[in-house]
């Protein structure tokens, strides 16, 4: 299989936003999840949102991830998701916002590519682009089943929040954890392989690479330079 990972800025690419949202909503419905707080259209109109989509050779969007910049005006998705349960969520984010922080969120992949390892590739790509938008740290929220993956790339549970970092979200069947990338520039807490791949994507944001996943090799055409718009 061959996929293209393409970066975009939400306010400048409404067509990509619509495809991203429609496919993401369908995946959530397939798993019986209907109350994700960031599962809405609000992010499409925010100038502080950048994203990456995974596209097949015929242009179908089969995965995506977003990076929201903390701008002091628009709350990060994690604040909307669990901030009402613990006001310290906003306090911790504000502490890091002065030096550039944001959130990696909205990660999904279609059932057609499930089990191929697309999620970890999107996460690495999402972390790779934060140097283009001046972020020195990064937050995320994840469920138990994605915790090992986000720890591999260096996220650490913020155990001062919620119940030792845990929140009941998006419903009583799930436990979510708020995590922070300790240093999004040095990636010092990431495992060596993941750190090397992220640094390579930063140095060479346009490249074609064979990535090895659980179900075999995938050719990824990375187009990670965030487009500049006149």
**Could you tell me what percentage of the chain is helix, strand and coil, using 3-state DSSP and rounding each to the nearest 5?**
35, 30, 35
Q: Are 10 and 44 a contacting pair, CB within 8 Å?
A: yes
Supply the DSSP symbol for 57.
Answer: T
Per-residue pLDDT tens over the stretch 135-183 = 999 999 998 889 999 999 999 999 999 999 999 988 888 899 999 998 9
Q: The tokens 């590739």 sit on which residue?
A: 121
- Tell me the two tokens of residue 200: 């390579």
Domains of the chain, start order: 2-223 (3.40.630.30)
Supply the DSSP symbol for 126.
Answer: H
- Tell me the two tokens of residue 194: 């993941």
Pairing mode, if any, of strands 166-168 and 138-143?
unpaired
* End-to-end CA, the chain: 34
Asked if pLDDT for residue 7 goes beyond 80, the answer is yes
Cross-strand bridge partners of residue 209? 220
Per-residue pLDDT tens over the stretch 191-228 = 999 999 999 999 999 999 999 989 899 999 999 999 98
pTM over 0.85: yes
Per-residue pLDDT tens over the stretch 92-149 = 999 999 999 999 999 999 988 989 999 999 999 999 999 999 999 999 999 888 999 9
| Cβ burial 52-63 (10 Å sphere, 16+ → b, else e) | bbbbbeeeebbb
pLDDT classification of 229: cutoffs 50, 70, 90: low
Q: How much is the average pLDDT of 1-7?
A: 96
- Closest-CA residue to 88 (of 155, 151, 154, 163): 163
């Amino acid at each position: 299989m061959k996929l293209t990972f393409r970066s975009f800025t939400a306010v400048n690419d409404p067509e990509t936003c619509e495809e991203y949202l429609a496919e993401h909503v369908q995946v959530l419905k397939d798993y019986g999840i209907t109350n994700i707080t960031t599962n809405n259209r609000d992010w499409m109109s925010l100038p502080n949102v950048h994203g990456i989509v995974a596209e097949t050779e015929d242009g179908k969007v089969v995965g995506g991830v977003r990076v929201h910049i903390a701008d002091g005006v628009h709350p990060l998705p994690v604040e909307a998701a669990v901030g009402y349960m613990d006001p310290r969520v906003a306090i911790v984010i504000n502490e890091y916002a002065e030096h550039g922080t944001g959130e990696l969120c909205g990660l999904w992949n279609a059932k057609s590519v499930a089990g191929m390892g697309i999620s970890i590739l999107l996460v690495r790509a999402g972390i790779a682009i934060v140097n283009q938008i001046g972020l020195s740290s990064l937050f995320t929220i994840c469920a138990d089943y994605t915790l090992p993956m986000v720890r591999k790339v260096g996220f650490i549970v913020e155990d001062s929040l919620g119940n030792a970092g845990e929140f009941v979200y998006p419903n009583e069947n799930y436990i979510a954890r708020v995590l922070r990338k300790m240093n999004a520039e040095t990636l010092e807490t990431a495992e060596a392989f993941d750190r090397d791949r992220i640094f390579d994507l930063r140095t060479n944001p346009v490249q074609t690479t064979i990535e090895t996943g659980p179900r075999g090799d995938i050719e990824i055409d990375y187009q990670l330079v965030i487009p500049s718009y006149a």
